[in-house]
């Protein structure tokens, strides 16, 4: 009876050893496949970065133009600050100035949105490199 129990324990231990061996092989094959995932994620980030780089040129030109226009409006504001605030010329200028400020704020928001996307893309690059560097 003691021998049957010992044989049963040996059989059970062999099964556990076999199960753990198969599990270790499975884990190794899954981690080997992660290199493909890296390539796919990197290609996706490369595409996104290229798109953002193209947008960068247009957005920076637009921002520079808005800044130049803002300086012009500020110079006019200094000249008109001595005028009577109820004067028709001043009221027309003020209306146009407020329209410009709306346009300027949209320009800044567009730039900030782009900047956020670009910084997130760069951050994702770093995370991807650290994740697959290990």
Domain ranges (residues) in the chain: 44-132
10-residue block means of pLDDT along the chain (134 residues)? 71 70 63 68 87 89 92 88 79 90 93 92 86 72
Q: What is the pLDDT of residue 109?
A: 94
Residues 114, 56 contacting (CB under 8 angstroms)? yes
Give the closest residue to 56 by CA, choosing from 14, 116, 6, 3: 116
Res 21: pLDDT:
65
pLDDT of residue 11: 77
So what's the pLDDT on residue 10?
75
pLDDT at residue number 36: 73
Per-residue model confidence (pLDDT) at position 18: 66
Nearest alpha-carbon partner for 118 in 39, 54, 28, 37 = 54
What are the distances in angstroms from CA 133 to CA 24, 39, 46, 57, 89? Answer: 21, 13, 18, 32, 65
Give residue 16's pLDDT: 65
């Amino acid at each position: 009876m003691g021998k049957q129990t010992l044989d049963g324990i040996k059989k059970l231990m062999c099964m556990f050893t076999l199960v753990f061996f198969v599990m270790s092989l499975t884990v190794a094959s899954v981690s080997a496949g992660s290199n493909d995932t890296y390539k796919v994620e990197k290609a996706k980030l490369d595409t996104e970065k290229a798109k953002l780089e193209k947008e960068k040129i247009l957005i920076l030109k637009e921002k520079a133009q808005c800044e130049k226009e803002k300086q012009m409006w500020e110079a006019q504001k200094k000249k008109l600050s001595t005028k009577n605030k109820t004067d028709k010329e001043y009221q027309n200028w003020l209306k146009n100035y407020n329209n410009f400020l709306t346009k300027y704020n949209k320009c800044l928001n567009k730039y900030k949105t782009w900047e956020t996307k670009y910084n997130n893309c760069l951050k994702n690059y770093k995370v991807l490199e650290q994740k697959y560097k290990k």
